[in-house]
Amino acid sequence: MTLDDLQALIDKMYSDKDRERGTAATFLWLSEEIGELAAALREGTQEQKEAEFADVVAWLVTLANINDVDLTKALEAKYGKGCPGCGHLVCTCNAKP
């Protein structure tokens, strides 16, 4: 599944209720999922970690969808040519000479 596929799938499944919920409430759901991911990373099983990563990505996609952000385009623009700070494929920001 590509990021484009996921964004379209989430939009198809949840678009109406996501847009009704709005950005602020959706951001709170994303924040809650990040907390659950943190707990899974500390003490969860591999299966729990994978489920929480999936939830975080899904809620991030939801937030992008309701704000009309194409994540593939945004990621390509920011990271497609390397580090946004130094411009290198392997980051050299703050590298010591």
Structural domain count of the chain: 1
In a domain, 89, yes or no: no
DSSP 47: H
pTM confidence score: 0.90
CATH number at residue 59: 1.10.287.1080
In a domain, 88, yes or no: no
Summarize pLDDT for 65-94 with one digit per residue, the tens.
999 999 999 999 999 999 999 999 999 998
Distances (CA, A) of 34 to 51, 67, 74: 12, 20, 21
The whole domain housing 32 covers: 3-79
> Quick check: 20 pLDDT over 80?
yes
In a domain, 94, yes or no: no
